[in-house]
Amino acid sequence: MSFFTLITQDNPLVHSKSNPVVDSRVAHDIDVLIVPGLPDDVAKYCLALVPRRYLPAMGAVCKKWRSFLKSQEFITVRKLAGLLEEWLYVLTMDSEGKESHWVVLDRLGHKRQLLPPMPGPTKAGFGVVVLNGKLLVMAGHSLIDGTGTASADVYEYDCCLNSWSKLSRMNVARYDFACAEVNGKVYAAGGYGMDGDSLSSVEMYDPDTNTWTMIESLRRPRWGCFACGFEGKLYVMGGRSTFSIGNSRSVDVYNPERHSWCEMKNGCVMVTAHAVLGKKLFCMEWKNQRKLAIFNPEDSSWKTVAVPLTGSSSIGFRFGILDGKLLLFSLQEEPGYRTLLYDPNASAGSEWCTSEIKPSGCCLCSVTIKA
């Protein structure tokens, strides 16, 4: 049997749950060659050439293949081969507002798959980050037997294997906090704690060691905020803090090299949607949902761009990023409504158009993963 026959979609060796051949392959010693008869570097390149839709099946072939598919090296090899596929992962809510699930869309907006349900109890106020081509869902607030509780659990979804796994717990249970990836590390800042108290604590996750480490705290407790990374620094903005009346305009900036925070004064407030596209941050504020606020970290400046009037003037949005463009998903179901698309690289006057890309339900949040 050839290598490429092994990985075809209809091969029972790949898809059978109880096939003894698969079981024996998985039990192989990890020191065997990835593909018998081929040097490992050549075999890895061959695996990287396989279309993404077949990757979960490949992970069932043997431990060597599964280990390689889980590694950052696999993403690196696919990137060098020019084969990274960009898919949009959208967390949607059903029409009754009772159940949520992750839906995967390709760059044409075609539905690729449903993710397996997220592990653990249903939660709100959790954080979502993409790290090394994987989706991390962190902490949050859940209602168990009528009692609300904060969580410190962290789960990772591997899009190449289509499976969830549990990572190390955070040091502090929290919800409604800020989180972002910076330089291959994940940061979680502020939020509410176990007793509903506002937090100033910050911790960092290192995927190489699967550990969370407490770092210098924010200068003040902060909650309902969000974060993003620019030029190797962590920016925390929005939400509320104990030193502000109402919503905070201050921006806390953390420098990992200096292990210290500084503060800026010109942030966004009451942000209902945000996304990083290229080297800029796009925000929408609750008080004005007909304009995009765009932050340029190079000079810490903001500019606004009017959003075309489509449907109701009070319509709300969630953001998505696909193919270098910003998608504005409507929070209201309106007949004939099409997703707005903003292209920052288009010529003046041509930045806006509409797109057929549309989630099947109300969009709660979305992330883009290249793998």
* β-sheet bridge partners, residue 135: 130, 157
pLDDT mean over 56-64: 91
Residue 186 pLDDT grade (very low, low, confident, very high; cuts 50, 70, 90): very high
Q: Give the per-residue pLDDT at 27.
A: 41
| Per-residue pLDDT tens over the stretch 71-88 | 999 999 999 999 999 999
Q: Give the per-residue pLDDT at 243.
A: 67
Q: Hey, what are 29's tokens? A: 């010693």
Name residue, tokens 């249970």. 173
Amino acid at 168: S
Q: Give the per-residue pLDDT at 275.
A: 97
pLDDT mean over 166-171: 98
Three state DSSP letters for the chain: CCHHHHCCCCCHHHHCCCCHHHHHHHCCCCCCCCCCCCCHHHHHHHHHCCCHHHHHHHCCCCHHHHHHHHCHHHHHHHHHCCCCCEEEEEEEECCCCCCEEEEEECCCCCEEEECCCCCCCCEECCEEEEECCEEEEEEEEEEECCEEEEEEEEEEEECCCCEEEECCCCCCCCECCEEEEECCEEEEECCECCCCCECCCEEEEECCCCEEEEECCCCCCEECCEEEEECCEEEEECCEECCCCCECCCEEEEECCCCEEEEECCCCCCEEEEEEECCEEEEEECCEEEEEEEEECCCCEEEEEECCCCCCCCCCEEEEEECCEEEEEECCCCCCCCEEEECCCCCCCCCEEEECCCCCCEEEEEEEEEC
pLDDT mean over 222-240: 95
Give dist(CA 202, CA 25) in Å, integer.
43
pLDDT mean over 343-353: 94
Q: Which of 193-197, 239-243, 352-356 has the lowest mean pLDDT?
A: 239-243
pLDDT mean over 180-199: 96
Q: Give the per-residue pLDDT at 218.
A: 96
Q: Which of 28, 69, 84 is nearest to 162 (CA)?
A: 69
Compare 151 and 8 and report the one with higher pLDDT: 151
The C-alpha angle 115, 182, 160, rounded to 5 degrees, equals 25
Residue 176 pLDDT grade (very low, low, confident, very high; cuts 50, 70, 90): very high
Q: Which of 12-21, 148-157, 213-222, 255-264 has the lowest mean pLDDT?
A: 12-21
Q: Give the per-residue pLDDT at 12.
A: 34
Residue 327 pLDDT grade (very low, low, confident, very high; cuts 50, 70, 90): very high
Mean pLDDT of the chain, nearest integer: 87
Residue 31 pLDDT grade (very low, low, confident, very high; cuts 50, 70, 90): low
Residue 89 pLDDT grade (very low, low, confident, very high; cuts 50, 70, 90): very high
Q: Is the pLDDT of residue 307 over 70?
A: yes
Q: Give the per-residue pLDDT at 314.
A: 57
The C-alpha angle 144, 146, 152, rounded to 5 degrees, equals 35
pLDDT mean over 98-116: 87
Find out whether 188 and 170 touch, Cβ atoms under 8 Å: yes
Q: Is the pLDDT of residue 309 over 90?
A: no
Q: Could you give the count of Cα atoms lying within 13 Å of 210 in the half-sphere of its Cβ?
A: 9
% pLDDT > 90, the chain: 67
- Calculate helix-pair angle for 63-70, 72-80, nearest 10 degrees: 70
Find out whether 220 and 243 touch, Cβ atoms under 8 Å: yes
Name residue, tokens 């994987």. 134
User: What topology is assigned to 118-269 in CATH?
Assistant: Neuraminidase (2.120.10)
Quote the pTM value: 0.88
Give dist(CA 302, CA 305) in Å, integer.
10
% pLDDT > 70, the chain: 88
Find out whether 317 and 271 touch, Cβ atoms under 8 Å: no
Domain ranges of the chain: 3-80, 118-269
Q: Is the pLDDT of residue 296 over 70?
A: yes
* β-sheet bridge partners, residue 112: none
Q: Hey, what are 172's tokens? A: 């502090």
The C-alpha angle 123, 246, 302, rounded to 5 degrees, equals 90
Q: Is the pLDDT of residue 4 over 70?
A: no
Q: Give the per-residue pLDDT at 361.
A: 84
Q: Is the pLDDT of residue 25 over 80?
A: no
Residue 147 pLDDT grade (very low, low, confident, very high; cuts 50, 70, 90): confident
Q: Hey, what are 201's tokens? A: 């604590």
| Per-residue pLDDT tens over the stretch 237-277 | 999 987 665 678 899 999 999 999 999 988 888 899 999 99
Q: Give the per-residue pLDDT at 316.
A: 85
Q: Is the pLDDT of residue 311 over 90?
A: no
